Amino acid sequence: MKQYLLSVHYVEGAVMPSDEEMQTMFRETERINDELQAAGAWVFAGGLTAPESATVVRTENGTTTMSDGPFAEAKEHIAGFWVIKCDDLDQALAWAEKCAAACGPIEVRPFDDLSQA
């Protein structure tokens, strides 16, 4: 089985959901987590704190620097993610559809299978 990353997007400047809407999103996400686990597709999942909490670590010419993040100057950032096992992309997209309904836009990416390189 191939592994896929489903990442949840946080859009900078977007109106934040109300506390009630957030609680609904949390409940729906937990329901999907339970469903993924029951289906044997679950590998790992987690939410991330706000992009402003990031620290960027760089090493150049033997010198390491650390600065406040986020790394990318972007309007969208990863807010959380799932790593799931699926037979194919279509199956991963079906899970992503459920996840998107629960908590917002989802990006689906297959893991690079380095063992076949």
Largest CA distance in the chain: 49
The pLDDT tens digits of the residues spanning 33-43 come to: 999 999 999 99
For residue 76, being part of any structural domain is answered with yes
Q: What pLDDT does residue 13 have?
A: 81
| β-bridge mates for residue 76, sequence order | 11
**pTM reported for the whole predicted model:** 0.81
Task: Count CB atoms within 10 A of the CB of residue 29.
Answer: 19
For residue 117, being part of any structural domain is answered with no
The pLDDT tens digits of the residues spanning 62-112 come to: 999 999 987 777 788 888 999 999 999 999 999 999 999 998 899 999 998
The pLDDT tens digits of the residues spanning 79-89 come to: 899 999 999 99
What six digits make up the tokens of 39? 């289906």
Residue 58 maps to which CATH number? 3.30.70.1060
Q: What pLDDT does residue 10 have?
A: 78
What six digits make up the tokens of 20? 């009630």
Domain count for the chain = 1
How does residue 1 score in pLDDT terms, banded at 50, 70 and 90?
confident
> Which residue range forms the structural domain that includes residue 21?
2-112
